[in-house]
């Protein structure tokens, strides 16, 4: 009985417990349902996205995205539902929730701490939202979590060490956020983790060694962070890894660090690629791109037999491609681009029969392209570009190949006939920038699927075949070859071609009318010999965005129909003989952003309708357009006033109106053009005040007008970005513009030839002036000691003023000064010898002053050469400031009369058609030239080439060589390694650790003022690549030492062969000499015209033309030139060039110009033709230099005696020599504006080589 009673007591207790638990469960269930209703209330704004939630007939557990077990909510999945709110806090009340997926819901704000209440949560996905802030600490208390996915948000802060509590976690994905700080070593506690993605954040520091504990890890992505140090020792035991990505790890403040020897390893993943990685046998993918590893790729990579893709672009690797890579027979994608691999492709790679993509562009891989590539029957994409492959092209048998690029190598010979016969799937072929020769008559006939054919920059010749019109070509790029004849009629039948570039060839005839039947979007015909008028049918190309037909022989008027091409963005018709007005139908070009009509004979007023275009405020998103917002109407015969409608060209960046007949004042409304950075209105008849005043203006050139009044004050406030200001040769009055010297960017100030007066106030100036020209004014007072504050000053011209007092002793500290003219003033006292002794001072004039001698007994050379005589009496002519009133009046009258006569003569010359001259070369040299109207024009400014379209050539990063490498390679600068010694420094032949033979130039001191400036110049110049330039491979900075690493040229310099080689007669036959002249011309032309910013060489001479193994010419030392920006004229800080090569104008201005380079090149050509040195001729035979001697000999009718005897006397060769001599003479004209551009020189030499056989 007692037992039965106890039994009933137990049953009763259990019943009570059951009732209590049931009540609790019901309460919990009721709470979940109530929480769902609360959640729905917060989503009323998203009613349209989740209609079932607001349908009263549907129970909550059946709402879309809701899964329940009983009445307990287990899963909420609203992914891709546009909620547009913060995460509702009430979600934290769903205590039974196991899955929460709110990815791509447009959520904002932080993660609420209430989510930490979800202690049954297994899966959390909040990716692809706009969530921000720190991760709440409560998140790390959810110990049941197995997957956390927070990708593509805006989370910040570091990863908490509390993550160690999530021991069941199998997936952690935090990519594409803004997390920072070091990775916590507690990550190593997550031993169940098989997926870890922390990519695209700002994590830094070294990898914690504890990551090696994650033995189950299969996927690891740490790419695009700032992680440093060696990583492979940490992960060597992660043998289950299938995919590994460490690419793009670099410091965020890369630019802010001064370079040091350990800089590389602190910024990128460093060290050698260790063998431990090859223990990870299961890897199917590796990406180690964008790092600074050292040495080569280990041979152990052949052990990774499961590898499907291996990506190592820009990884710092060098040496040879290991033969063991051929064992990875499952490889489908191999990318080793932008490294320093050398040597031939190993034959073992023929075994990669599964390869689909093969990329090795921008390395030093050499040898012929192996024929065994035809074994890769599955390959679709091959890029061998920018290496050192040699030999001939062979046709491949690759039925699936769609893209093949071998551009920028040294391939020679002809392109085989029927190149596509066994590779019929080819859609893209690029052989650009090689040395291919011959025609292409049958080369691509069988390429039935070809859409892109790029052959620019070769030596191909002959006519373009008609069958190109039958191919499905979209892009045809034949620029910079020797193609000739007319545009084939068959090509004009193409209905697929969108881009046609035939620029810089030898095409002749008229532009056919049938071109209007095509569907072209881009048409480039620049630099040929097209004649006649622009066909009106071009106006039928309704999709045309780019039309560039500059540098031809086109004449007549611009057809109004041209402006039916309403999608035009770029229009370049410059350097032709077009005449008449600009049609007002130009108003139809609403998208126009780049209009270049310079160097024609266009006339009439400038139509205000031009500004229907130029409305873009941002640069165009186009790989083809580097210059944007350019309106260039310079060097024409436009008259009338500048139209005020130009103020509506809101996207205008550069305005070039120089060299016309414009009058009236500069419209004040131009001050509204906030994007305007460069204005050149010089050489017109403008009156009124100086303007416009714009905060973003970098260049303002108003020289040679009739402007009056004072120079605006407060220039540092109204134009704080000015780099160059040229107001010379006007009628300006008032004081010196002291405020200009407070412009922190101003390097060039020219206010000469005006009527300015008062003292030259230089105190307090912060401008980094290179040029200051205040000559031919009425300035008075004394020069102050503060002049020495302008430490960068290279050119100082104060002549013909009324300046008094002594030359300040402090001027001796102007170490960069190269030109100083203080003549025709009232300076007195002793000339400080310290000024005369400035190293590099090449021109100095103290004449017509009141000096009484020098302050030293031994006068330094530059001053001694003036041979001044000193007297206590004022024996020099009075300056302009002391002229009588009648003298001034007479001068003004004569000036006006002279201006009228000059204008009449100028217009007369414009109307004169260019006639045939003695030779083809001289005809080209004088083509489209006019009488100079200003000093700037005499210096070559009027003929400056302006490219409206340019594709810059970008190379892989420069090598940063250590001093230890250089010392080892040169045996501590042993004289046995010296191969050259010039003005810039000593050159050593050296072998770097990778056995690459290079030339190391050790610069003389004093060329660069700081590390930043040096590195900036080197990184810019490292981007320049052309077959006729010696490429800069790398550099080294150590203390005050500067080293440049160049590619080694086996045959040394041209000067050595011309002067000091006994075997020169056999090696330098006429064909080779002509090849050298043409090659060096191509290299120099690329510097002037083919790269932005344009580069002026400054020291072109035969010792700076190097010859490779095949006697191809390579221009060197261009890397030591100053870079020319869009708003600067180059001003040297020492006398530009070498005696014998220096053009005559350099002695007056010290300005290095492109036309100065042309003169120097002409001297080099004369050296080749005559075998004589540039100096050392008899004084009575032309003045003691080579240019004068050649002129003297030709003047005597002894032209045939000029040529070097060993060049040969064949009829064809001798005719070529005569024509090349004519080119050289055109290049060495005394007046820069008469010299041809280097592009014209290249075209002339190509024609001579082609026409005269």
Residue 154, φ and ψ in degrees, nearest 5: -130, 35
Characterise 1171 by phi-psi region: left (phi > 0), alpha (psi -120 to 50), beta (else): left
CA distance 270 to 281: 23
Cis check: omega of the bond before 692, within 30 degrees of 0: yes
Q: Are strands 706-709 and 630-632 parallel, antiparallel or unpaired?
A: unpaired
What are residue 750's DSSP bridge partners?
A: 726, 773
CA distance 1024 to 1088: 12
**CA 228 remoteness from chain centre:** 29
Segment holding 381, helix H or strand E: strand 381-383
Inter-helix orientation angle 1211-1227/1070-1089, to 10°:
30
Segment holding 203, helix H or strand E: strand 202-205
Helix, strand or coil for residue 546? strand
CA Rg, the chain, in Å? 37
Give 1076: exposed, middle or buried? Use CB within 10 Å, 0-12, 13-18, 19+: buried
List of E strands, 836-946 = 843-845, 850-854
Structure tokens at 430: 């690029």
Neighbours of 972 (CB within 10 A): 8
Residue 264's alpha-carbon distances to 202, 269, 968, in angstroms, are 18, 9, 20
Inter-helix orientation angle 1154-1170/1070-1089, to 10°:
170
Residue 456's alpha-carbon distances to 376, 476, 503, 926, 996, in angstroms, are 28, 9, 9, 28, 29
**CA 410 remoteness from chain centre:** 23
Q: If we measure between CA atoms, which residue out of 1094, 1128, 950, 945 comes closest to residue 1020?
A: 1094
380, 403 contact by CB (below 8 A): yes
CA distance 942 to 933: 9
Degrees to nearest 5, angle at CA 207 with 204 and 210: 140
Sign of the C-alpha dihedral computed for residues 616, 622, 628 and 632 taken in this order = negative
DSSP 46-101: GTTT-GGGG-TTS-GGGSTTEEEETTEEEEEE-TT----SBPPGGGGG-TT--EEE
What are residue 797's DSSP bridge partners?
A: 773, 821
612, 587 contact by CB (below 8 A): yes
Positions marked catalytic: 1099
**CA 638 remoteness from chain centre:** 34
540 among annotated binding-site residues: no
Inter-helix orientation angle 1211-1227/1154-1170, to 10°:
150
CA distance 111 to 828: 80
End-to-end CA distance of the chain: 133
Residue 101's alpha-carbon distances to 81, 575, 730, in angstroms, are 11, 65, 74
Give 836: exposed, middle or buried? Use CB within 10 Å, 0-12, 13-18, 19+: buried
Annotated binding site for ATP: 1001
Annotated binding site: 1001
């Amino acid at each position: 009985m007692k037992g039965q009673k106890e039994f009933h007591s137990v049953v009763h207790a259990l019943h009570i417990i059951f009732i209590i638990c049931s009540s609790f469960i019901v309460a919990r269930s009721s709470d979940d349902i109530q929480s769902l209703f609360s959640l729905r209330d917060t989503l009323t704004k998203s009613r349209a996205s989740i209609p079932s939630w607001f349908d009263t007939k549907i129970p909550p557990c059946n709402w879309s995205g809701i899964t329940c077990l009983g009445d307990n909510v287990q899963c909420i999945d609203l992914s891709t539902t546009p909620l547009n709110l913060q995460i509702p806090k009430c979600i934290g009340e769903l205590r039974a929730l196991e899955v929460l997926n709110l990815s791509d819901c447009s959520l904002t704000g932080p993660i609420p701490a209430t989510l930490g209440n979800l202690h049954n949560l297994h899966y959390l996905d909040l990716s692809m939202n706009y969530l921000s802030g720190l991760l709440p600490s409560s998140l790390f208390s959810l110990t049941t979590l197995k997957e956390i996915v927070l990708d593509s948000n805006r989370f910040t802060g570091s990863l908490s060490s509390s993550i160690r509590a999530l021991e069941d976690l199998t997936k952690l994905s935090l990519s594409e956020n803004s997390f920072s700080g070091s990775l916590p070593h507690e990550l190593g506690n997550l031993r169940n983790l098989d997926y870890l993605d922390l990519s695209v954040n700002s994590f830094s520091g070294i990898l914690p060694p504890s990551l090696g504990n994650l033995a189950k890890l299969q996927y690891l992505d740490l790419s695009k962070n700032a992680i440093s140090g060696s990583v492979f020792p940490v992960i060597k035991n992660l043998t289950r890894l299938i995919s590994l990505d460490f690419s793009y790890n670099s410091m965020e403040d890369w630019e802010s660090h001064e370079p040091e020897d350990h800089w590389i390893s602190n910024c990128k993943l460093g060290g050698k690629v260790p063998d431990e990685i090859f223990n990870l046998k299961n890897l199917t993918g590796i990406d180690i791109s964008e790092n600074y590893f050292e040495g080569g790729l280990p041979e152990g990579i052949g052990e990774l037999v499961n590898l499907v893709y291996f990506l190592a672009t820009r990884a710092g690797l060098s040496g040879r491609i290991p033969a063991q890579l051929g064992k990875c027979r499952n490889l489908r994608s191999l990318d080793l681009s932008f490294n320093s691999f050398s040597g031939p492709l190993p034959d073992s790679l023929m075994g990669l029969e599964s390869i689909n993509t093969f990329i090795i562009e921008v390395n030093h891989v050499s040898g012929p392209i192996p024929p065994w590539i035809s074994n890769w029957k599955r390959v679709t994409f091959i890029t061998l570009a920018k290496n050192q492959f040699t030999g001939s092209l062979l046709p491949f048998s690759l039925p699936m190949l769609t893209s093949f690029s071998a551009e920028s190598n040294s391939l020679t010979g002809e392109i085989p006939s029927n190149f596509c016969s066994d590779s019929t799937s080819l859609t893209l072929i690029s052989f650009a920038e090689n040395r291919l020769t011959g025609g292409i008559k049958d080369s691509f006939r069988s390429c039935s699927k070809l859409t892109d054919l790029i052959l620019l920059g070769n030596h191909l010749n002959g006519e373009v075949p008609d069958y190109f019109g039958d191919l499905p070509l979209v892009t045809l790029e034949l620029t910079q070859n020797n193609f000739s004849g007319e545009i084939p009629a068959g090509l004009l039948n193409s209905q697929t071609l969108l881009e046609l570039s035939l620029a810089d060839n030898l095409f002749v005839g008229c532009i056919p009318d049938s071109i209007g039947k095509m569907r072209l979007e881009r048409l480039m015909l620049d630099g040929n010999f097209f004649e006649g008028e622009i066909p009106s049918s071009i106006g039928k190309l309704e999709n045309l965005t780019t039309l560039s037909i500059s540098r031809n022989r086109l004449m007549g008027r611009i057809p109004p129909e041209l402006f039916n091409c309403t999608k035009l963005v770029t229009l370049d018709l410059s350097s032709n003989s077009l005449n008449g007005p600009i049609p007002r139908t130009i108003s139809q070009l609403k998208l126009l952003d780049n209009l270049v009509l310079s160097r024609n004979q266009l006339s009439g007023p400038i139509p205000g309708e031009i500004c229907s275009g130029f409305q873009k405020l941002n640069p165009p998103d186009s790989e083809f357009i580097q210059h944007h917002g350019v309106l260039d109407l310079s060097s024409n015969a436009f008259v009338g006033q500048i139209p005020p409608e130009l103020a509506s060209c809101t996207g205008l960046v550069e305005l070039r109106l120089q060299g016309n007949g414009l009058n009236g004042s500069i419209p004040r409304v131009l001050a509204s053009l906030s994007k305007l950075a460069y204005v050149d209105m010089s050489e017109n008849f403008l009156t009124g005040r100086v303007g416009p005043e714009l905060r973003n203006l970098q260049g303002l050139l108003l020289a040679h007008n009739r402007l009056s009044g004072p120079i605006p004050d407060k220039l540092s406030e109204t134009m704080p970005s000015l780099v160059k200001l040229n107001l010379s040769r006007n009628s300006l009055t008032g004081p010196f513009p002291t405020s200009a010297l407070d412009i922190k960017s101003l390097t060039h100030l020219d206010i000469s030839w005006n009527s300015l007066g008062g003292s030259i106030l230089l105190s307090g100036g912060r401008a980094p002036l290179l040029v200051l020209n205040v000559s031919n004014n009425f300035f008075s007072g004394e020069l102050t000691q503060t002049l020495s504050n302008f430490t960068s000053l290279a050119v100082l011209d104060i002549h013909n003023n009324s300046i008094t007092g002594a030359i300040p002793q402090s001027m001796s500290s102007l170490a960069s000064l190269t030109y100083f003219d203080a003549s025709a003033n009232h300076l007195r006292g002793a000339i400080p010898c310290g000024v005369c002794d400035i190293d590099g001072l090449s021109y100095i004039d103290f004449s017509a002053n009141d000096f009484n001698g020098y302050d030293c007994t031994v006068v330094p050379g530059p001053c001694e050469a003036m041979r001044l005589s000193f007297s206590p009496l004022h024996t020099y002519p009075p300056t302009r400031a002391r002229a009588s009133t009648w003298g001034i009046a007479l001068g003004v009258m004569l000036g006006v009369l002279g201006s009228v006569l000059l204008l009449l003569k100028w217009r007369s010359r414009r109307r004169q058609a260019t006639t045939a001259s003695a030779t083809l070369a001289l005809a080209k040299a004088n083509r489209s030239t006019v009488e100079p109207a200003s000093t700037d024009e005499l210096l070559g400014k009027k003929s400056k080439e302006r490219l409206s379209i340019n594709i810059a050539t970008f190379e892989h990063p420069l090598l940063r060589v250590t001093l230890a490498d250089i010392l080892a390679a040169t045996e501590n600068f042993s004289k046995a390694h010296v191969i050259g010694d010039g003005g810039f420094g000593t050159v050593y032949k050296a072998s770097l650790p990778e056995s690459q033979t290079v030339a190391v130039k050790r610069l003389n001191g004093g060329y660069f003022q700081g590390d930043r400036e040096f590195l900036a110049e080197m990184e810019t110049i490292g981007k320049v690549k052309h077959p006729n330039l010696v490429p800069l491979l790398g550099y080294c900075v150590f203390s005050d030492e500067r080293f440049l690493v160049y590619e080694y040229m086996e045959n040394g310099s041209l000067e050595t062969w011309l002067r000091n080689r006994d075997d020169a007669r056999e090696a330098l036959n006429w064909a080779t000499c002509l090849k050298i002249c043409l090659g060096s011309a191509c290299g120099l032309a690329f510097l002037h015209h083919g790269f932005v910013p344009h580069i002026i060489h400054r020291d072109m001479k035969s010792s700076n033309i190097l010859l490779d193994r095949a006697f191809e010419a390579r221009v060197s030392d261009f890397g030591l030139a100053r870079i020319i920006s869009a708003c600067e004229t180059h001003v040297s800080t020492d006398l530009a060039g070498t005696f014998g090569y220096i053009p005559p104008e350099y002695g007056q201005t010290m300005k290095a110009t492109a036309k100065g380079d042309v003169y120097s090149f002409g001297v080099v050509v004369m050296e080749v033709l005559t075998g004589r040195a540039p100096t050392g001729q008899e004084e009575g035979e032309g003045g003691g230099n080579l240019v004068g001697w050649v002129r003297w000999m030709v003047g005597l009718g002894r032209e045939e005696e000029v040529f070097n005897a060993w060049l040969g006397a064949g009829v064809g060769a001798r005719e070529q020599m005569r024509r090349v001599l004519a080119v050289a003479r055109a290049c060495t004209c005394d007046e820069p504006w008469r010299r041809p551009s280097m592009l014209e020189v290249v075209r002339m030499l190509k024609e001579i080589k082609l026409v005269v056989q």
